[in-house]
Amino acid sequence: MAEQNRIVELFETVDHEIAVAEKQHVALQQQKKGLMQRLLTGQIRVNTAHFPGNSEFPGKS
């Protein structure tokens, strides 16, 4: 019986961890959607001068 209780506790812990991960996933999806919307509408801009491969990048390309 004690072993069954440990197994139940393990599954409850796993269920809790999955629920937390799913909640974080939803929050990150919402954050991404909001950031993409702000980028597409021009509310925020990305400075591309610091990315390698950019012709304006002073380092190696």
From the first residue on, what is the mean pLDDT of each consecutive set of 10 residues in the chain (61 residues)? 96 98 98 96 84 62 46
Let me know: does 46 contact 52? Beta carbons within 8 Å.
no
Q: For tokens 């925020």, name the residue.
A: 44
- Average pLDDT of the chain is 88
The Cα–Cα gap between 37 and 6 comes to 47
Note the pLDDT of residue 57.
Answer: 53
> 52: which residues sit within 8 A by CB, 6+ positions away?
59, 60, 61
Give the pLDDT confidence score for residue 61 in this predicted structure: 46
Give the sign of the dihedral formed by CA 32, CA 38, CA 40, CA 42: negative
User: How crowded is residue 57: how many other Cβ atoms within 10 Å of its Cβ?
Assistant: 13
